[in-house]
Structure 1
Amino acid sequence: MYKPSSLKQYLISSVKELQRSPDRVLVFMDEGNVVCSSAPGLSFEYRYTLTLIITDYAGHPDAVFIPLLAWVGEHQRELLDNHEQRQQAISFNAEVLANDLVDIEISLPLTERVIVKSQAGGELNVSHPPEPQLEPFLPAGTYRLQTESGYLLAEWESRPPFDAYGTTTDD
């Protein structure tokens, strides 16, 4: 599964406050299922709830949630596009600690396709294709999130969209 580590690294590299102490970002996968059809082959889909916990966070919550939404727009787009799902798909809890620190727990349902293809000689080839992107959630480029006074909260890259075959639409 690549999405849990992808999201963790994305937030650590994007959010200035998390770069100082990346070990405060914890990721768990809960309520997981493996879903396959009766079609021939061994391809399947992982379905699970990703729980992301940020401990002792002193930054502004926007600095976490805006890059998180950008990541979701690329890696689990239907959570934003589907009216029913976006109402409650991304949930959070927060515990206010002493000295203006907060523990934030974010939960979101994720899926990952696993394609297994038979090769000559009985070998199996496994791949994890990216989510298809019909149009970019954000145009490709660098994004900087700042306060009105110019303080940098977060910075991240948006990539060109992928098609159903895992190639960028710029190819």
Structure 2
Amino acid sequence: MKKLHRLRERLVTAVPGLDRDPDRLLTFVEEGSIEFRRGRDLTHEYRFVAQLVLTDFTGDLDTVMLPLLQWLAEYQPDLDPGEALTFEAEILANRAVDLALRVPLTERVIARVDCDTGHIQAEHSLSHFPSHACMATRWQLLVRETTEQEWSVAAEWDAPHG
């Protein structure tokens, strides 16, 4: 589940205030399965729905979604656009919400069997598809409520490959 740990790290560093209280981001695995084909090696792929729950969130939803979508574009670009992300929110008092996000993820494990030595070498293949169109290493999310207002910085984070 190395990919889920990386996704969690991205959100903790990108969502304003979450780095000061990372325990507000809960992570779970739902609907996990393993795709495996019989053969000499034990290579397989984890397939699961990652659930991330951000508790007592009071910020702008874009400060969560845009870093998440940017991460998905680089680490899970093969997702069906209509099913890449689902979410629910429980509205709490004082404009806070508990936000639950669900993202289907895959993680391939190359496991080579050496019958002569009795070794199995396992390596997680965390594919990365960087965008060469945007080479910025630091991002700022600028927002405004109306076209008459000035833009203001809502969030900042390092690029997934940065």
Q: Same fold (TM over 0.5)?
A: yes
Map Cα deviations across residues 98-126 of structure 1 (whole Å, 9 max, x no partner): 00101100001110000011345111111
Number of equivalences: 155
Identity %: 33
Deviation at 1:22, TM superposition (A): 1.1
Write the distance in 1 (CA, Å) between the matches of 2:73 and 2:133.
5
Deviation at 1:9, TM superposition (A): 1.1
Change (3 A) 1:94 1:3: same
Aligned letter for 1:147? V
Write the distance in 2 (CA, Å) between the matches of 1:36 and 1:137.
35
Out of 138-147 and 66-75, give the one that drifted further.
138-147
RMSD across aligned C-alpha pairs, in angstroms?
2.0
Deviation at 1:95, TM superposition (A): 1.1
Q: Please, what TM-score do these two structures have when normalized by structure 2? A: 0.86
**Paired residue for 1:65?**
65
For the Cα contact (< 8 Å) 1:25–1:54, is it kept in 2?
Answer: yes
Runs of at least 4 residues of structure 1 off by over 4 A? 134-138
For the Cα contact (< 8 Å) 1:70–1:138, is it kept in 2?
Answer: no
Compare the two structures and name the one with the higher strand fraction.
2
For the Cα contact (< 8 Å) 2:54–2:100, is it kept in 1?
Answer: yes
For the Cα contact (< 8 Å) 2:130–2:161, is it kept in 1?
Answer: no
Structure 2: runs of 5+ lacking an equivalent: 145-150
Deviation at 1:40, TM superposition (A): 2.5
Out of 147-156 and 119-128, give the one that drifted further.
147-156
Write the distance in 1 (CA, Å) between the matches of 2:143 and 2:130.
32
Change (3 A) 1:137 1:53: farther
